[in-house]
Amino acid sequence: MTELVNLPKKRKGESTNWWEEDELDDFSIQKWKSLEHHGVIFPPDYIPHSIPLFYDGEAISLTPEQEEVATWWSSVIGTEWETKEIFRKNFEHNFLKLFTSDHKIKSLDKCDFKKIAEYVEAQREIKKARLPEEKKQEREAKQKIDEEIGYGIVDGKREKISNIIVEPPGLFRGRGQHPKAGYIKARLRPEDITINVGKSNLVPKCPVPGHAWKNVVHNSYVTWLAYYKDPELSFSNVKYVYLAASSKFKGLNDKLKYEKARKLRGLIDGIRSDYFDKIKKDNQVNKQLGTALYLIDKLALRVGNEKTEDEADTVGCCSLKVSNISFKENYQITLDFLGKDSMRYFNTVSIDPNVHENLKKFVEGKGQDEELFDLITTSSLNEYLKTFMKSLSAKVFRTYNASVTLQMLLAKFNNKKMQVEEKVQFYTDANREVAILCNHQKSTPKNFEVQMEKMQDKLKDKLESLSLLETHLKGFLSKKIAQNADKKLPTSEENTRKAIVRAKTSVKNMEIKLKMKDDNKTIALGTSKINYMDPRITVAWCKNNEVPIEKVFPKALRSKFIWAMYTEPAWEF
């Protein structure tokens, strides 16, 4: 294994925090001068189990390639994927291609994967039943690999790499109702990987004997360390290997993104005045530009890009069709379409009368499948925005609106005497409002009812404990403490009162958790935290109101936004 260069030692008084540097390079030109890393890791090769597939009652021996794909299918049996029409249809089409034209296997419906599925389940149980010592050894082995090759050296500084292991082979699922769900993802080889390192740095050694990297480049104007694309799936996206979220590359990009949104705050009044002026113009292109930007600004819509036939039929503002809009009384419209990840956007909202009039004219004489905004594109809209600020795009409006909304909602908090859990609930309610604005939805988890039942059982136990303590306190007050009283109960009136206070707090906290879980069962709170709400708003609010940051930001987010953790309590977006 290629040795990495020795890390430079920190000199006395020297800062190792990039956000503390006097001048922050915006990475607009060259991203780095020196880049060294170990390349990527490949998943282990498939080990055949030789369990047959049954077809029409007959045992069929499979080749290792056929068996691996059959095993993938066996792992989805009993899940929603097994019965998902497009997934099943595409899998059948690709699975049958693994057999010769004269092979007896002709239909997925006649295939019985039961024996393979039993093997998969047995292996899963064996893995669960591993001894603690075995699990510990596995963790230590992974940590050792991570320490050895999970880091790179960028301009002399050691940085964590996020996705060092390339994607394993399997069944493609895609996001939402993807038309290619069920296709087979190929096993990647070194010949599929392009490596990016410094021109004067060592090229990482290929970890697979007898193979070589597809290409080695020295591009200091990008931040990726490697990239690859599934050689069998023409529709798949290029996948990049980047440094971890806590790295300077990622952190600086995040900070610059939020600073751009903050800069928009100072320009927003002028931009709104301009697009309202366009809304009233006679020129139809200007009318569409102004109207589209109004919707993006008011409703936090995604701008929308053109889709290929291989992608899910999702839309944004600029790609709305006539069928996606309907008109109501009192200047109301209803928008109904599939947004990103095939999540339905369904919203009835009151809009400006001029916008309402424009939209009605835009649909006149058009068929249901024709575009609402047929005279503009995403590019032309963004070019219009660049007349206000060089790097401004429609996407910045979502970041701006999410952050401004969070700041406004959190500013309403005025009760620092609340319990921490109550404060967290207040924050979560604000987070949910932002998620709803951005249409960040999710499906209700499969085990949601089971989880709720367990939490309700815990609440019931806590209420019973509280009732027992209150009965115990009455005994002290009436001087009639039962001789056979539970030995776990407090032995004095003072301690009983203290226990009751703790029990009431515990009950209240559990009730809050239950309500939050139910309220947020179909709302994806994490997306807005990760991508749209400036983290400094959250950090400043937590410091102001004595809420531990770990209550609202999990470890991964605290690491991603390490630069924001130093925000002063008085900071505002």
Please tell me which residue in 227, 384, 400, 532 is annotated as part of the active site: 532
pLDDT tens for each residue of 101-125:
889 999 999 999 999 999 999 999 9
Take residue 208 and report the two structure tokens written for it.
């697979």
Domain 404-564 top-level CATH class: mainly alpha
- CATH 2.170.11.10 domain range(s) in the chain: 27-42+133-244
Tell me the pairing of strands 58-60 and 53-55: antiparallel
Q: Is position 331 annotated as part of the catalytic site? A: no
Q: Is the confidence at residue 229, as pLDDT, over 70?
A: yes
Looking at residue 532, its pLDDT comes to: 94
User: What is the average per-residue pLDDT within 365-392?
Assistant: 91
Quick one: how far is CA 382 from the chain centroid? 25
b/e sequence 297-308, b meaning 16+ C-beta within 10 Å: bbbbbbbbeeee
Name 170's bridge partners.
Answer: 185
Residues contacting residue 67 through CB under 8 Å, at least 6 positions apart: 48, 49, 50, 51, 53, 116
Tell me what percent of the residues of the chain surpass a pLDDT of 70.
92
**416 vs 501, residue with greater confidence:** 501
Looking at residue 426, its pLDDT comes to: 94
Token pair 């596995």 in the structure block, residue? 138
Looking at residue 485, its pLDDT comes to: 56
User: What is the average per-residue pLDDT within 3-11?
Assistant: 40
User: What is the average per-residue pLDDT within 125-143?
Assistant: 92
Take residue 65 and report the two structure tokens written for it.
């390639």
348 phi and psi angles, rounded to 5 deg: -105, 125
Q: Is the confidence at residue 454, as pLDDT, over 60?
A: yes
For residues 101 and 116, give the distance between their C-alpha atoms in angstroms, rounded to a whole number: 24
b/e sequence 351-390, b meaning 16+ C-beta within 10 Å: beebbbbbbeebbeeeeeeebbbeebbbebbbebbeeeee
Token pair 């505002």 in the structure block, residue? 572
Q: How confident is the model at residue 24 (pLDDT cuts 50, 70, 90)?
A: low
For residues 279 and 290, give the distance between their C-alpha atoms in angstroms, rounded to a whole number: 5
Query: Helix 248-279 crosses helix 353-363 at what angle (to 10 degrees)?
Result: 90
Selection from 258, 255, 226, 230 nearest residue 241 by Cα: 226
Q: Is the confidence at residue 482, as pLDDT, over 60?
A: no
- CATH 1.10.10.41 domain range(s) in the chain: 53-129
Token pair 């996705």 in the structure block, residue? 163
Continuous segment of H or E residues that includes residue 422: helix 420-437
Q: Which CATH superfamily is domain 27-42+133-244 in?
A: DNA Topoisomerase I, domain 2 (2.170.11.10)
Structural fold of domain 53-129: Arc Repressor Mutant, subunit A (1.10.10)
Selection from 165, 58, 63, 74 nearest residue 117 by Cα: 74
pLDDT tens for each residue of 283-295:
999 999 999 999 9
Tell me what percent of the residues of the chain surpass a pLDDT of 90.
62
Looking at residue 488, its pLDDT comes to: 78
Q: Is the confidence at residue 146, as pLDDT, over 60?
A: yes
- CATH 3.90.15.10 domain range(s) in the chain: 282-393
Token pair 């406004």 in the structure block, residue? 408
Domain 282-393 top-level CATH class: alpha beta
CB 116 within 8 A of CB 74: yes
CB 268 within 8 A of CB 403: no
**446 vs 496, residue with greater confidence:** 496
CB 40 within 8 A of CB 193: yes
Identify the weakest region by mean pLDDT among 154-158, 357-361, 461-465: 461-465
Identify the weakest region by mean pLDDT among 100-104, 206-210, 387-391, 513-517: 513-517
Residues contacting residue 567 through CB under 8 Å, at least 6 positions apart: 536, 539, 540, 543
The mean pLDDT of the chain is 88
Q: Is the confidence at residue 496, as pLDDT, over 70?
A: yes
User: What is the average per-residue pLDDT within 329-334?
Assistant: 92
For residues 412 and 272, give the distance between their C-alpha atoms in angstroms, rounded to a whole number: 26
User: What is the average per-residue pLDDT within 361-369?
Assistant: 92
Q: Is the confidence at residue 183, as pLDDT, over 90?
A: yes
Q: DSSP secondary-structure letter at 440?
A: -
Rg of the chain's alpha carbons, rounded to an integer?
29
Q: Is the confidence at residue 511, as pLDDT, over 60?
A: yes
User: What is the average per-residue pLDDT within 148-167?
Assistant: 92
In the chain, DSSP finds a helix count (H) and a strand count (E) of 16, 15
pLDDT tens for each residue of 516-569:
788 777 788 889 999 999 999 999 999 999 999 999 999 999 999 999 999 999
Looking at residue 11, its pLDDT comes to: 42
Residues contacting residue 250 through CB under 8 Å, at least 6 positions apart: 242, 243, 244, 560
Which residue intervals of 97-179 are DSSP H helices? Answer: 114-128, 132-149
Q: How confident is the model at residue 2 (pLDDT cuts 50, 70, 90)?
A: very low
Identify the weakest region by mean pLDDT among 1-10, 233-242, 387-396, 499-508: 1-10
For residues 314 and 341, give the distance between their C-alpha atoms in angstroms, rounded to a whole number: 8
